[in-house]
Amino acid sequence: MIPPLIVQEALSQKINLIAITDHNATANIESVQKAAAGSDLIVLPGMEVQTREEVHCLCLFDTLEQAFAWQKIVDATLPDLENNTEFFGEQFIVDETGDFIRREDRLLLNSISLTFEETAQKVTELGGLFIPAHINRKAFGLIANLGLIPENVNIIALEISRHITTPDAYAVYPQVKKYPLIQNGDVHYIDEFLGSTHYQIENPSVNEITSAFLHANGRSFVILPGN
């Protein structure tokens, strides 16, 4: 998954908005944004952060500066362990053509030491959007790990994986009934683009996407069968 191929594949699937949400990392976002410059594809900065409870959460931002400010907090709360490429694979940082820039030596797959609540609060304070990710997954999902949706957190929407539909998710997990559910591709390989959640928004911003989640101000979203 190098930046030009990500852009090409998204466009060929008629997807015009993606977010780059690497695990506890933001170093490759800018390269994908550069690769998409001048095309119809908009690339939002983001991250899939792993909280102390081993819950995966999406963080979406409007600007790279916000994402990097969040990265600083993640770096300060991630265990300082070196990646072992033999076990965990390479962590490459590449430029907009996909050429190697450097290796990330720090092991990214761990949990940060912030709780789910602290993570939500800090991401929101930075102007970001906090969305618990693939809540239906047995590994690293909010429901598997924490059982219930924490009540003391202002959660605007939850994300379900491609393996379940919204009606099924509401039926299986009655505790999520009051939350809007979006579905993302969680794309790890180039042939996994999904593009099933369609947004009716004025521009690709955290504010507009939030309104769409809430079906407020004429904004909305709908999940259609994926590509």
Partner 1 sequence: MNLQQIIEKMDLTLLTQKKDFSEITPSQGYASDLLSCVMSGAPHGSLWVTLQAHTNIVAVAALLELSAIIISEGAMPDENTIKKANEEDITLLSSGLSTFSIISKLSALGIEGK
Give the nearer residue to partner 1 in terms of CB position, either 42 or 153.
Answer: 153
Site string (133-162) toward partner 1, x via CB under 8 A = ----------xxxxxx-x-x----------
Amino acid at 46: G
| 180 part of the interface to partner 1, by CB under 8 A | no
The dihedral over CA atoms of 142, 121, 195, 147, expressed in degrees to the nearest 10, equals 10
Within 47-76, the residues that bind partner 1 by CB under 8 A are 52-53
Give the binding-site size for partner 1 (rule: CB under 8 A).
Answer: 13
* Ranges of H-type helices in the chain: 3-12, 29-36, 64-77, 85-88, 116-125, 142-146, 166-172, 206-214
Alpha carbons 200 and 219: distance in angstroms, whole number = 5
Give the nearer residue to partner 1 in terms of CB position, either 161 or 205.
Answer: 161
| 121 part of the interface to partner 1, by CB under 8 A | no
Q: Which of 83, 115, 124, 166 is in the footprint of partner 1 by CB under 8 A?
A: 115
Cβ atoms of residues 161 and 134 within 8 Å: yes
- Beta carbon of residue 38, minimum distance to partner 1 (angstroms, whole number): 45
Alpha carbons 87 and 105: distance in angstroms, whole number = 13
| 127 part of the interface to partner 1, by CB under 8 A | no
Q: Write out the residues near partner 1 by the rule CB under 8 A.
A: 52-53, 115-117, 143-148, 150, 152
